[in-house]
Amino acid sequence: MPVIGGGAHILVFPYPAQGHMIPLLDLTHHLATLGLTVTVLVTPKNLSLLNPLLSKHPSSIKTLVLPFPTHPSLPAGVENAKDLTPKSAPAMMRALGELRQPLLQWFKSHPSPPIAIVSDMFLGWTHHLACQLGILRVVFSPSGAMALSVMYYLWRDLPKRNDPDDHSAMISFPKMPNSPIYPWYQLSGLYRSYIEGDPVSEFIKDGFRANMESWGLVINSFESLEKDYLDYLKNELGHDRVWTVGPLLDPSGPTERGGPGANWAGDIMTWLDSCKDHTVVYVCFGSQAVLTSEQMEALGLGLEKSGATFIWCIKEARGDAKCGVVPPGLEDLVAGRGRIVRGWAPQVSILSHRAVGAFLTHCGWNSVLEGLVAGVAMLAWPMGADQFVNATLLVEELKVAIRVCEGAESVPNSDELGRLVAQLVVDRNRVEMVRAMESSKAVLNAIKGGGSSFKDLDRLVMHLTKEASLRDKILDVEQKCSTMEFTDNHYKPIMHA
């Protein structure tokens, strides 16, 4: 990429959850490559996650390490959402708000402070900080445009249920493209836990509304994937400073995304080398979801009945013998055609291998984009957060996926699951397979030179560089004015001792 940033200084502030940090750090890599000077704000226990980035950009990326604030609802020493339940997200977001004062002090004492803050959508309070400092705030959305549209709609209009106990009450979004409708239980947990007047709830509501007021918006998506929702967002925000720069995964960037390298990772790739093209199903539900014993048994039985070759990545529960445990005897039953990985797996490398043809996923946005890049058909089992909206996009609009289950507590029918898995890897002419390959081409066109995401990334950097130049000129004029004495429309230099 050509260097166009001119060294303009920005602050990047990720939210400390894997699905949020990884894409924003990927964006940071791109911004530094294009010539911006970046300071990344992290808390001490997350500093090591920046090592690949710092080693690649030793001169253009620096760190600002601030102590993680305490909060009565958070366990002592916790600094990353992966160590918490989703119900702890409001407390995590509120705790991070306590960084406003130390961050303000850092800005005021810095000899060349950033001209903009690029911060995660869960850090909406940084908009108020940016206004106080007289600089720009750019929202980063690790979710797609459709999911973000739903979130903004919720926090702006605050729809309610007629019966507060009806978890299946349907909530409609008539002003959005395609007018989606979702049962209450499929809406954002942050929104469902909102209590009017509660200080933490009001802080989160204010944060999302501050996002809508911020100067710009960067989305980890690409134009042709979600054009209708991008147009909707621009109309709702009242400006076109909306940039789609995804998928942000860069083959030339850091490769250890979300986990350390492991010796056995090479064994998986060697095993995949021995498999036929497009015959392997990759199964993974992200970094946080832990399946119950009943779900594990149904899923394991479905994979066994499918007869398909598979890799199953499992997150095991800490201290809970009833969750995340492989059904007894399964590994013996599928020996030779099934590999089970406990903990982190090199997902990007697995999905991009020629042998993988399908992906059973929770529909987290990072996984969705990685699946689209790889051109694999998907089996959708959304469980929470933005995943139900993502599943709608994949299944009903893009038609690259089949919905196999819904909800964090649902248990799939093993017979039906086995049938769908078998069909997806056997029939290469299924519409989902064909559409997945077409979507892969669209993704690659977006991120290559001249593509929509490539151009939007350049435009974002040029906007920030222009703002930095304007600010420098203003400061230069102010400095000159401070050393001039104005008299009768003339001025002369003020002599200082």
Per-residue pLDDT of the chain (497 residues; tens, 9 = 90+): 566 667 899 999 999 988 899 999 999 999 999 999 999 999 999 999 999 999 999 999 999 999 999 888 787 777 777 666 777 889 989 999 999 999 999 999 999 999 999 999 999 999 999 999 999 999 999 999 999 999 999 999 999 998 988 899 999 999 999 999 999 999 999 999 999 999 999 999 999 999 999 999 999 999 999 999 999 999 999 999 999 998 997 554 444 454 544 445 678 888 899 888 899 999 999 877 788 888 888 998 899 888 889 998 887 665 555 666 777 767 666 777 888 888 778 899 999 999 999 999 999 999 999 999 999 999 999 998 899 999 999 999 999 999 999 998 899 999 999 999 988 887 777 888 899 999 999 999 999 989 999 999 999 999 999 887 766 555 444 444 444 444 444 434 333 33
Same domain? For 419 and 455 the reply is: no
pLDDT, residue 27, reads 96
**Domain hosting residue 29, numbered range:** 9-252+450-476
The span from the CA of 122 to the CA of 166, in Å, is: 27
- C-alpha span between 220 and 455 (Å, rounded): 14
Number of Cβ within 10 Å of residue 82's Cβ equals 15
- Give the pLDDT score at 331: 66
- Taken in order 270, 334, 279, 22, the sign of the CA dihedral is negative
pLDDT for 496 equals 37
Q: Which residue's structure tokens are 């942000």?
A: 248
What is the residue type of 154?
L
The pLDDT value given to residue 467: 80
Predicted pLDDT at 250: 59
78 and 211 assigned to the same domain: yes
E-strand stretches of 202-308 = 216-219, 242-244, 280-284
Q: How far, in Å, CA of 320 to CA of 216, rounded?
A: 43
Residues 203 and 84 in one domain: yes
Three-state secondary-structure class, residue 313: strand
Q: Which residues pair with 244 in a beta bridge?
A: 219
Statement to judge: residues 364 and 235 lie in one domain: no
Q: Quick one: which of 354, 278, 355, 348 has its CA closest to 313?
A: 348
Domain match, 315 and 238 both: no
Residue 358: inside a domain: yes
> For position 429, what pLDDT does the model report?
79
Residue type, 49: L
Output the pLDDT for position 77.
74
Of 97, 151, 90, the residue nearest 125 (C-alpha): 97
**486, part of any domain:** no
Per-residue confidence (pLDDT) for residue 320, from 0 to 100: 54
DSSP character at residue 292: B
Q: Enumerate residues 6+ apart whose C-beta is below 8 A from 146.
A: 226, 229, 389, 390, 392, 393
Q: Are residues 83 and 197 in the same domain?
A: yes
**Positive or negative CA dihedral for 434, 438, 444, 447?**
negative
Give the chain's radius of gyration (CA, Å): 24
Q: In what order do the strands lie in the sheet with 377-380?
A: 338-342, 309-314, 280-284, 356-361, 377-380, 401-403
Q: Does 384 map to a domain? A: yes
Q: Is 493 part of any domain?
A: no
Give φ, ψ of 6 to 5 degrees: 65, 15
Within a 10 A sphere around the Cβ of 380, how many other Cβ atoms? 25
What per-residue confidence (pLDDT) applies to 337?
Answer: 83
Residue 176 shares a structural domain with residue 43: yes
Last residue of a domain, one of 424, 446, 468: 446
Instruction: Mark whether 414 and 313 lie in a shared domain.
Output: yes
Whether residue 93 sits in one domain with residue 43? yes
Answer whether residue 4 is part of any domain. Answer: no
Same domain, 29 and 171: yes
> What 3-state class would DSSP assign to 399?
coil
Partners of 374 in the β-ladder: none
Q: Examine residue 184 and state whether it is found in any structural domain, yes or no.
A: yes
Asked if residue 393 is part of any domain, the answer here is yes
Q: Are 296 and 227 contained in the same domain? A: no
Q: How far is residue 160's CA from residue 214's CA, in Å, rounded to a whole number?
A: 26
The CATH number of whichever domain residue 98 belongs to comes to 3.40.50.2000
- Does any domain span residue 492? no
The answer to whether residues 173 and 120 belong to one domain is yes
Region class of 151: left (phi > 0), else alpha (psi between -120 and 50), else beta: alpha
Domain total of the chain: 2
